[in-house]
Amino acid sequence: MLELFVTFFKLGLFTIGGGVAMIPILSNIMVKDKKWFSEDEMIDIIAICQGLPGVIAINMATYVGFKRRGLIGSFVATFGVTLPSFVIIVIIAKGMNFIDGNPHIQGALGGLRAAALGLIIIAVYQVAKGVIKDSFSAIGAVVSFVLIAIFKINVVYIIILFLALGITRAYMKKSSIESVETLKSADDTELVEGKGDTESSKFKVDEEVPDFNHDEKRRGSDK
């Protein structure tokens, strides 16, 4: 339990740029360092947490905590990831007047924003590498981007649309596999039956063919 708290406390402390920027760091810790999840499982976790209401960082902490240690684990992980930002924001709020007028701090914040952008780009690359495995995923990603960025469609509608498309695609794929297996089973049955008929016909022919060797032996004995 302590390990879970410390892990998410560090994530909350050192992740700059919001929950999306946390994805590459969290993936490295969960998949490579801790080996708590596989890459495919991590992609599913990201998709679930991104599609739910709320901040993705808190959603991911709650989800991972629950998967690792149950309900208490979800509270511990969520508390760990939110505690650093809570403390830092309180401190910044108290010294806001000093921060606004200090060019050095403004420069530092500009550097942090640039680093956050880099982390977000890495997160997009890692998620895309794990998700885009076929034409459906690639087309879905492009269409989603166009609908959201250009046509300003609400994200909720995009999520509902691709949930429906994904379910429909899975159902059609399953039906196609079942049809192929049914046809294959029917072909195997016909092949077995045909083989049985051939062997039966061969047996009948063997019975009908006279045994000439036996007749010759019998004639020799008569002589």
Gap between the Cα atoms of 140 and 124, Å rounded = 15
Burial of 189 (0-12, 13-18, 19+ CB in 10 A): exposed
Measured distance CA(178)–CA(174) in Å, rounded: 6
Q: In angstroms, rounded to a whole number, what is the distance separating the alpha carbons of residues 41 and 47?
A: 10
Domain boundaries, the chain: 2-131, 182-222
- Residue 59: exposed, middle, or buried by beta-carbon count in 10 A (0-12, 13-18, 19+)? buried
Mean pLDDT in runs of 10 for the chain (223 residues)?
86 72 79 84 81 80 88 91 87 73 75 76 75 82 88 86 87 79 67 55 50 51 50
pLDDT given for residue 195 in this prediction: 54
Instruction: State pTM to two decimals.
Output: 0.56
CA dist., res. 98 & res. 92, Å (int)? 9
Residue 35: left if φ>0, alpha if ψ -120 to 50, beta else—which one? left
Give CA–CA dist 123/178, Å, rounded: 37
What local confidence, expressed as pLDDT, does residue 171 receive?
85
Half-sphere exposure (Cβ direction) of 12: Cα atoms closer than 13 Å:
27
Confidence (pLDDT) at 181: 73
What is the structure's pLDDT at 205? Answer: 46
Give the pLDDT score at 209. Answer: 47
Q: What pLDDT is recorded for position 72?
A: 92
